Chain A
Amino acid sequence: MVLARLAGRRLALAVPALAGVVVVTFLLNRALPGDPAAFFAGPAATQQAIHEIRVKLGLDRTLPEQFLLYVRDLARGDLGKSLTTGQPVIADLLTRLPASLELTLCGLALALAVALPLGVLAAVRPGSWIDHAARVTTTAGVSLPIFFTGLLLVYVFYYLLGWAPAPLGRLDAFSSPPVARTGFYLADSLLARDSALFRAALRQLVLPALTLGLFAMAPIARMTRAAMLGVLGSDFVRTARAMGLAPRTVLLTYALRNALLPVVTLLGMVFSFLLGANVLVEKVFAWPGIGSYALEALIASDYAPVQGFVLMMASIYVVLNLTIDVLYGLIDARVRIEA
């Protein structure tokens, strides 16, 4: 189908970028100061013991050799083993990825639910108090360091008011996770029709999603406002008003749908940005995502997980751009027809 061709072209473009990522991560990792062999030889290790481990990890070979070994393993889908958790990296990443995705998607959904209406309102009444208020609040949201917002929210809503649940990760201590079908607790608990579990998972998600969401509201609101301003001034909106269509139809079906095009493209960038900023939110909310996993590995100079993480993020980025294009094609036929 046409979209398949579009997807094919986008993938072809992504391959060199991915290759670039593989090389850069490999070199960046090798430049990390720590020597994993020393770290894992344990406190009482002697030089000899550390050398043993270095050989075992294959770190004694020349850089090009190590790179070839790495690429060969990569081809076999073996991302190596994490020395911090002792598990194969691919297993760690796959168990932890849904946690990060679920958090980022909820954060994005929250941001959209607030920023889109704000953007539209600001565009419908430019220069009014709503316009300024929208701009000031969303900009304030993005001006705070994300970890600080998180800690503040925990302090106020959990520690002082007790409204929010304990920041203990994806589920409180006493409920066990649902049967893993998609890995998304919300979806899995719905599939298992376990409303209590759904509520428990949702309650744990609120604060971290709000922290992430706050961070994404500004760009979305700003882009929606600019796009809506442009569309509201366009000829076809004037025609729609001249035809006496209902104000809601003019605003939503005609104007907003067209304004969504640039917003959708922006979503791709905001999503990957949020995945990156996830690292800090996961640290604050004990969220077992891939961000904190990569951070622990980076601090411990444990190469395999860092490389695995970056590769996964790069491929998510490619898949993301693909979905954006498809989404774009669905909304705007011009792209679909001309592809």
Chain B
Amino acid sequence: MSQALRHARYVVTENPVTLAAFALFSGFVLLAVVGPWVAPFDPLLSDTARALQPPTWRHWLGTDQIGRDILSRILVATRLDLVIALAAVAISFGLGSLAGACAGFFGGWTDRIVTRVVDTIMAFPLFVLAMGIVAALGNTLANVVIATAIINLPFYARMARAEAHVRRAAGFVEAARLAGNGPGRVLVMHVFPNCLPPMMVQASLNLGWAILNAAGLSFIGLGVRPPTPEWGIMVAEGAAFIVSGEWWIALFPGLTLMLAVFCFNLLGDGLRDLIDPRGRT
């Protein structure tokens, strides 16, 4: 175990960017937990007298069109955005890898069905599929998450299928099977863990992508319902105010969103260095 730990320490210390990403990630998680208590104002409280104010000592990041405090909304929104990202990735990671692993491992009909479904999803223009789903089922939070999850499903399914296919013939799988384990157990105990590493990298990249997708949906009016604070919707609402000079309404949520997605992507690279042998210098 020490060798892996030492290796992990090497990657993190060797690569300052990845270290920063880890720190940033833990910062966001902390903010998600403690957000509502730290926020200086109630994120939903309107104050039309102080609407559209630039950053001041009272409102550090300024106020929006109906006078709500932007800093508080950003802080409180962290939890929702992380939930959207983690939920979407968890669903697509879980479903996708399971389906893929089964397809790769059992082959035959399961393989054919899963590949057909995956090809169909892949053939769809991703963003339009999301729009269609949310427009069809209504723009509740759950639908935004489901739409994002479905789009990312193919990545995991294909990766899991390829890994499972390779692993199936590997010696230790044969051995496990000979030792009397049922196919299900073999799959979960032996094949699946080995598919994990590359998919961990993909998962972290998709975390960022899930938030961006939610923001995109908000821009065309299919995002999270008002008045819930969420970074994507705040950027979409603020977009109309850039030209008229109230840059802070869109800029600060945009920067936070960028930082989060940025952190997830760098985290993905860091994880890849940790896992992918070729990456080791």
Contacts and interface: CB of A to CB of B under 8 A. Distances in A.
B120 A17 contact: yes
Interface stretch (B59-67, B78-86, B162-170, B234-242): B234-242
B254 A144 contact: yes
Nearest to B260: A143
A131 B276 CA distance: 18
Nearest to A138: B265
B278 A229 contact: yes
A120 interface: no
17 contacts: A17-B116, A17-B120, A33-B135, A135-B266, A144-B261, A147-B216, A147-B236, A147-B239, A152-B242, A155-B243, A273-B126, A275-B125, A277-B216, A279-B220, A283-B219, A313-B124, A317-B123
Contacts of A147: 215-216, 219, 236, 239
A20 B112 CA distance: 13
Contacts of A127: 14-15, 281
Given A14-B119, A159-B243, A222-B269, 12 more contacts: A32-B132, A126-B281, A127-B14, A135-B17, A139-B262, A139-B266, A139-B269, A146-B212, A148-B254, A151-B250, A299-B221, A313-B128
A132 B212 CA distance: 23
A33 B124 CA distance: 21
Closest 5 CB pairs of A and B: A20-B120, A143-B261, A17-B119, A31-B136, A276-B127
A60 to B, nearest CB: 20
Contacts of A298: 128, 131-132, 135
A145 B17 contact: no
A28 interface: yes
Interface of A: 13-14, 16-18, 20-21, 24-25, 28-29, 31-33, 126-127, 132, 135-136, 139-140, 142-148, 151-152, 155, 159, 218, 222, 226, 229-230, 233, 272-273, 275-277, 279-280, 283, 291, 294-295, 298-299, 301, 306, 309-310, 313-314, 317-318
Given A143-B265, A279-B220, A21 B123 contact: yes
B56 to A, nearest CB: 23
B132 A28 contact: yes
Contacts of B247: 155
Interface string B125-157: 111100111011110000000000000000000
A280 B212 CA distance: 12
B122 interface: yes
Interface of B: 14-17, 116-117, 119-120, 122-128, 131-133, 135-138, 208, 212, 215-216, 219-221, 232, 235-236, 239, 242-243, 247, 250, 254, 257-262, 265-266, 269, 278-279, 281
A16 B118 CA distance: 11
B125 A145 contact: no
B17 to A, nearest CB: 5
B119 A20 contact: yes
A132 B243 contact: no
Most buried by A among B15, B123, B239, B257: B123
A146 B180 CA distance: 53
A233 B65 CA distance: 57
Nearest to A126: B281
Contacts of B219: 145, 147, 280, 283
Contact of A20 (B116, B136, B215, B235): B116
Contacts of B133: 28
Contacts of B220: 279-280, 283, 295, 299
A276 B17 contact: no
A31 B129 CA distance: 13
A124 to B, nearest CB: 13
B265 A139 contact: yes
Contacts of B265: 139, 142-143, 218
Nearest to A145: B215
A295 B138 CA distance: 16
A135 B16 contact: no
Contact of A132 (B16, B126, B254): B16
Contacts of B135: 32-33, 298-299, 301
A186 to B, nearest CB: 24
A229 B279 CA distance: 8
A127 to B, nearest CB: 6
